Chain A
Amino acid sequence: MKKYIFLSALASLALIGCEPEFDSSIEEGDFYSAGDADFSNFVSVGNSLTAGYADNALYVEGQLNSFPNIMAGQFELVGGGEFKQPLMEDNLGGLKLNGNLIQGNRLVLAINENGMPSPRPLAGDPQTDISNQLSGSFNNMGVPGAKSFHFVAPGYGSVPGVAQGTANPYFARFASSAEATVIGDAAAQQPSFFSFWIGNNDILGYATSGGSGENQQGNFNPATYGPNDITDINVFANVYSQALNSMNTETTSGGVVFNIPNVTNIPFFTTVPVNPIPLDAQTAGGLAQFYGLYNNQILPGLQGFGLLSADEVAARQVNFQAGEGNFVTVRDESLTDIAPFLQNPPFNLPPELASLFGQVRQATENDLITLTASSVIGSPIGQIEFMGNQIPLINGITVPLADQFVLTPQEQMQITQAQIAYNSTIEGLANQNNLAFVNVDAILAEASNSGVSYNGGVLSTEFATGGAFSLDGVHLTPRGYALIANRAIQAINQTYNADIPQVDIGYYRTIMPSNNVD
């Protein structure tokens, strides 16, 4: 009896211990393949897009969904190691310096009593103070806001430098020393594999400020650049090559580099239409009277004095009609400023009225209006007396949108020229160094034109609803970053004969709805 029980028990134990095994388990080392690459120490160099920045902030959940972290998760199947990130303190994303707020919280999509959605900052007191420096090295060397030349700039991680505007608050949190460079700290980790995506901010600052900076072509000293300037293409090529060479050493098995997307495909510029203004008959009539004088007397008058060409007169015509689809008025810096003339005889306009007409024109289909203009257009800011009538001052109608809200065709051309030159440098160096190359420009064009299908829908660049872009209109959602991670894995598989599976991007969220706003 005892023997039987003992044997039964033994047989039972043997079977309980027998877990089901797949014929071919993906947990076993040889199911997928790293190919010629070695992912044991993966280091990512880049800006906000590498850090996982989204919704106008860097916060923990966004960092966990950064594209290099998603890639590192897949690399684990082929020998990838731990991927450390300089995680923020919370999911609010605001930044403090010695207790003072220097960057607000992330945006969420709030819905008001009338059911109208709008991006607003998530309420709460952020706990990330950049003076609390993190120790150790980090695989994710994504530094939001960094331009190409910042990656090789000593002192970019100095905490005191943040207040002076010479350093970056995000890098200051985890720089190895006040004098460290981003690229130095990244290279010191001797990565076995790296990702490298820099240069976006070299045009983006200019673009999102509506071209209010300078195009610095020909100026080879980036120390003299303002934050909204376009980096000289030779400066870019030099620092890009220098930084890439620091990463692509003999000890690394390879890397993946990314080019720079066309800013005109991002919702920051595609959301607010150039003609968003509806007018009732009465308002339209008043405006027609106001601008009729300007169109029919002032402009021909100035042309008569030889101050304006016929082309400029045509470009400056402002017409408002009852109904939908009126184009906004914008201030175009490329136009001759006629305000001084209007204050003189025979016009004798008061200065505040003259300034409204100084460089005004109506937007055309070729302009791009920034996302930030959406809360400005149509907002009243007072009124002004004109020929005995009180004319309301309304942004985008009687008050032209300031330069910072409009990207004119000339400004777009400056950006595109720089972008093409940067991308040619990037692709050339990728080929020259046999690195995997991700054409982000093409990916976002695809998302913008046809959308990218996935298991559960189509990812597109439409603001808030398209799924790819976060609420700041510039940075991606987790789902958008997952798409980038997948395309990078595709490129790596191809270049390094690897077989690494891609993620299902449907598992990554899009925008965050929340009414936890102040």
Chain B
Amino acid sequence: MKKLVLSSLLFLAFASAYAGGYRVGAQGQRALAMGHSGVAVVSNAELAFFNPSGLIHLENRLNISAGVTGVFSNVRYQNSNTGQFTETDSAISTPFYLNASYKINDWLAAGISVSTPYGSQVEWPRDWAGSHLVNEIELAAIFVQPLVSIKINDYLSVGGGPIFVTGSVNFNRNLTRSLVNEEGARSNVEIDDSGITNWGWGASFMFTPSDKLTIGFNYRSEIMMNAEGGEATFTNVPNSPAVPAQNGVVPFNASLPLPAEWSLGASYQFSDKFMATIEYNRTLWNVYESLDINFPSGAPSSINPRNYKDASIYRIGAQYEVTNRFTLRGGYYLDESPVQAGYFAPETPRNDAMGFTGGFSFDVSEKFAVDFSFLYLRFDEVDASYDFYSEDGQEIPFGGTYKSNAFLPGLGITYKL
């Protein structure tokens, strides 16, 4: 166990950068090790996130699973027309989860899921080529979902519950490509808000036509995060009425959707030791039309079209029980980017990705197991641009070549009683 802690510390020490889109799939180490497919897998309390209706199928009365993932990501940018190049700076984010269920009787289980399915942290070098779009962004949202799982009959169970979200946002960019103050420092705005809350809901079912086949479906609703009265801090703005902003702090309003998503999947127990799973996710990103930042004090609004499209993820995974205490897992997924051509903004520099996953569980005792997973996200090199930034009413594309990868090692525990 000590070694394990040491290893994870090493990961932190060697982290070179963090980035990622703003849906971060790392809500259960066992599912993550199988291509993050868990909607039709009855394994441990991770179900509270992936498919609450399945909780009633867990054998034990009390089930807990918790874990944390380190997200290390690198993004490189270059523009061969101008010779500009850079990469994102070191930073790390740690999505975590805590899932628990309690079987009240044969047909009813209650549970709770605490997770961080949305978040983003990208840190470009200050004043880099795309600094008029973003220098740094950090989004975080914590989902807390109390839930129930009800067994309707031997074949069907349903589950779900309300979702409470609390989130925070920090976003920094330069005002334009070239505006500086009297000392030549780039004019900048940083918006910051935390304690943004709202409610949503989730519902699911699980269908078990045979001992071997499990089919699951899960839905989580859209949740709009409305930042109202957050702080926008303008710095390095020249002292002039010709400039539509002044140094200082003003309130801002902005909205960022956490889109609805649904998952449909199946798992099949080929033998006592071998199980495989397949899953389809759809995230309804088209709700994210524009990131608009309004300043009630009268400064001009910042309108940033996003125009995302709904996107699919295709997942496969498998697990094999090597011994009765040791289980190996592997998986793969194809993650389609919601970003359309011409809308590739460097705040979420994600194009289509392939995720290669693996991991294992080790039962330390009857009650207690450790779960380890890793995910390597591979992105194709992409020539992309964001065409909707404007200065003086003229749209000015920002483009170049991006190449990203991400590595997510994760550690979790499973406890059952």
Distance (Å) between the CB of A9 and the closest chain B CB? Answer: 4
Task: Please indicate the chain B residues that have their CB under 8 angstroms from the CB of A17 in the complex.
Answer: 14, 16
Q: Is the CB of A32 within 8 A of B83?
A: yes
Q: Is the CB of A515 within 8 A of B241?
A: yes
Complex Cα spacing A246 to B136, Å: 49
List residues of B (7-28) whose CB comes within 8 Å of A's CBs. 7, 10-11, 14-16
Name the residue on A nearest B73 (C-beta).
A20
List residues of B (86-145) whose CB comes within 8 Å of A's CBs. 87, 129
Q: Is the CB of B10 within 8 A of A501?
A: no
Q: How many residues of B contact A (CB 8 A)?
A: 52
Q: A20-B379, A513-B240 are in contact. Are A77 and B4 (CB under 8 A)?
A: no
Q: Is the CB of B83 within 8 A of A26?
A: yes
Task: Please indicate the chain A residues that have their CB under 8 angstroms from the CB of B210 in the complex.
Answer: none
Task: Please indicate the chain B residues that have their CB under 8 angstroms from the CB of A15 in the complex.
Answer: 374, 376, 407
Task: Please indicate the chain B residues that have their CB under 8 angstroms from the CB of A19 in the complex.
Answer: 16, 74, 76, 87, 405
Complex Cα spacing A27 to B226, Å: 42
Complex Cα spacing A152 to B381, Å: 54
Q: A506-B177, A514-B240 are in contact. Are A61 and B403 (CB under 8 A)?
A: no
Q: Is the CB of B239 within 8 A of A509?
A: no
User: Does B195 lie at the interface of the complex (its beta carbon under 8 Å from any beta carbon of A)?
Assistant: no
Task: Please indicate the chain A residues that have their CB under 8 angstroms from the CB of B76 in the complex.
Answer: 19-22
Distance (Å) between the CB of A327 and the closest chain B CB? Answer: 32
Name the residue on B nearest A64 (C-beta).
B184
| CB < 8 Å neighbour of A515 from B10, B240, B409 | B240
B381-417 CB mask vs A (1 if < 8 Å, else 0) is 1000000000110101100010111010100000000
User: Does A387 lie at the interface of the complex (its beta carbon under 8 Å from any beta carbon of B)?
Assistant: no
List residues of A (463-518) whose CB comes within 8 Å of B's CBs. 478-479, 500-504, 506-510, 512-516
User: Does A1 lie at the interface of the complex (its beta carbon under 8 Å from any beta carbon of B)?
Assistant: yes
User: Does A108 lie at the interface of the complex (its beta carbon under 8 Å from any beta carbon of B)?
Assistant: yes
Distance (Å) between the CB of A8 and the closest chain B CB? Answer: 6
Q: Is the CB of B381 within 8 A of A22?
A: yes
Q: Is the CB of B83 within 8 A of A501?
A: yes
User: Does B72 lie at the interface of the complex (its beta carbon under 8 Å from any beta carbon of A)?
Assistant: yes
User: Does A16 lie at the interface of the complex (its beta carbon under 8 Å from any beta carbon of B)?
Assistant: yes
Q: Is the CB of A509 within 8 A of B178?
A: yes
User: Does A419 lie at the interface of the complex (its beta carbon under 8 Å from any beta carbon of B)?
Assistant: no
| CB < 8 Å neighbour of B180 from A8, A61, A122 | A61
User: Does A399 lie at the interface of the complex (its beta carbon under 8 Å from any beta carbon of B)?
Assistant: no
A421-461 CB mask vs B (1 if < 8 Å, else 0) is 00000000000000000000000000000000001110000
User: Does B362 lie at the interface of the complex (its beta carbon under 8 Å from any beta carbon of A)?
Assistant: yes
Task: Please indicate the chain A residues that have their CB under 8 angstroms from the CB of B72 in the complex.
Answer: 16
List residues of B (129-187) whose CB comes within 8 Å of A's CBs. 129, 177-180, 182-184
Q: Is the CB of A2 within 8 A of B80?
A: no
Task: Please indicate the chain A residues that have their CB under 8 angstroms from the CB of B409 in the complex.
Answer: 12, 16
List residues of A (92-117) whose CB comes within 8 Å of B's CBs. 108-111, 115, 117
Complex Cα spacing A502 to B87, Å: 21
User: Does A60 lie at the interface of the complex (its beta carbon under 8 Å from any beta carbon of B)?
Assistant: yes
Distance (Å) between the CB of A256 and the closest chain B CB? Answer: 18
Q: Is the CB of A20 within 8 A of B184?
A: no
Q: A1-B362, A18-B405, A20-B75 are in contact. Are A501 and B82 (CB under 8 A)?
A: yes
User: Does A13 lie at the interface of the complex (its beta carbon under 8 Å from any beta carbon of B)?
Assistant: yes
Q: Is the CB of B403 within 8 A of A22?
A: yes
Q: Is the CB of B178 within 8 A of A479?
A: yes
Q: A16-B407, A31-B80, A509-B179 are in contact. Are A91 and B184 (CB under 8 A)?
A: yes
User: Does A5 lie at the interface of the complex (its beta carbon under 8 Å from any beta carbon of B)?
Assistant: yes
Q: Is the CB of A77 within 8 A of B83?
A: yes
Q: Is the CB of B372 within 8 A of A20?
A: no
List residues of B (63-85) whose CB comes within 8 Å of A's CBs. 72, 74-76, 78, 80-83, 85
| CB < 8 Å neighbour of A12 from B83, B85, B396, B407 | B407
Task: Please indicate the chain B residues that have their CB under 8 angstroms from the CB of A16 in the complex.
Answer: 11, 14-16, 72, 407, 409
Q: A4-B360, A501-B80 are in contact. Are A9 and B7 (CB under 8 A)?
A: yes
Q: A20-B76, A21-B403, A111-B242 are in contact. Are A512 and B15 (CB under 8 A)?
A: no
Q: Is the CB of B360 within 8 A of A455?
A: no
| CB < 8 Å neighbour of A13 from B14, B177, B183, B397 | B14
Q: A1-B362, A5-B3, A17-B14 are in contact. Are A111 and B241 (CB under 8 A)?
A: yes
Complex Cα spacing A506 to B7, Å: 47
Name the residue on B nearest A502 (C-beta).
B82
Task: Please indicate the chain A residues that have their CB under 8 angstroms from the CB of B80 in the complex.
Answer: 24, 26, 31, 501
14 contacts between A and B (CB under 8 A): A6-B7, A19-B87, A20-B74, A20-B75, A26-B78, A111-B241, A456-B396, A479-B178, A501-B83, A502-B82, A507-B177, A512-B182, A515-B241, A516-B182
Having A20-B74, A512-B182, one finds 6 other A-B pairs with CB under 8 Å, namely: A20-B405, A21-B76, A26-B80, A32-B83, A457-B394, A516-B182
Q: Which 8 pairs between the two chains have the least Cβ-Cβ distance?
A: A61-B184, A513-B240, A501-B83, A513-B242, A9-B7, A509-B178, A20-B403, A456-B396
